[in-house]
């Protein structure tokens, strides 16, 4: 069917009616949707209460001054790494990379041993 056929059908005065089986199927679907149980709404009040309690606990367990001091020391370390001579910065980066890879290999080996994998 080409676009001209569609245009001719849509412009014609002839009424297009759905078949009785189509109407029956649609009505069965509408009735099924009407009897379908709606999902449980999101518990916004419980979520807000948990977030409030979590925020208070986080503020109590991690006081702002210690968090700020840790952030400042981390930023100082990053600043020292940025202004360090290239050979020192590269050496520190490579040492960190090697330590990360070695730690990852050890963790994978340990997890495989704990699960009983042979290789």
pLDDT in tens, 21-43: 999 999 999 998 888 877 788 88
Confidence class for position 11, pLDDT limits 50, 70, 90: confident
Residue 10 reports pLDDT greater than 70: yes
d(CA 72, CA 70): 5
The Cα 87–Cα 92 span in angstroms is 9
This model's pTM is above 0.85: no
Q: Which two tokens stand for residue 115?
A: 């699960």
Per-residue pLDDT tens over the stretch 50-93: 999 998 888 888 777 777 788 888 888 888 877 777 777 677 77
Report which secondary-structure segment, H or E, holds 20: helix 20-35
| Residue listed under structure tokens 């001054």 | 65
């Amino acid at each position: 069917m080409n676009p001209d056929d569609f245009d001719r059908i849509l412009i014609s005065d002839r009424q297009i009616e759905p078949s009785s089986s189509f109407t029956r199927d649609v009505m069965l679907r509408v009735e099924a949707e009407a009897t379908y149980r709606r999902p449980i709404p999101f518990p916004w009040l419980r979520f807000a209460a948990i977030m409030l309690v979590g925020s208070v606990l986080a503020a109590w367990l991690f006081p702002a001054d210690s968090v700020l001091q840790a952030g400042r020391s981390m930023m100082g370390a990053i600043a020292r790494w940025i202004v360090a001579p290239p050979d020192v910065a590269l050496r520190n980066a490579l040492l960190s990379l090697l330590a990360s890879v070695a730690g990852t290999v050890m963790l994978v080996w340990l997890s495989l041993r704990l699960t009983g994998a042979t290789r």
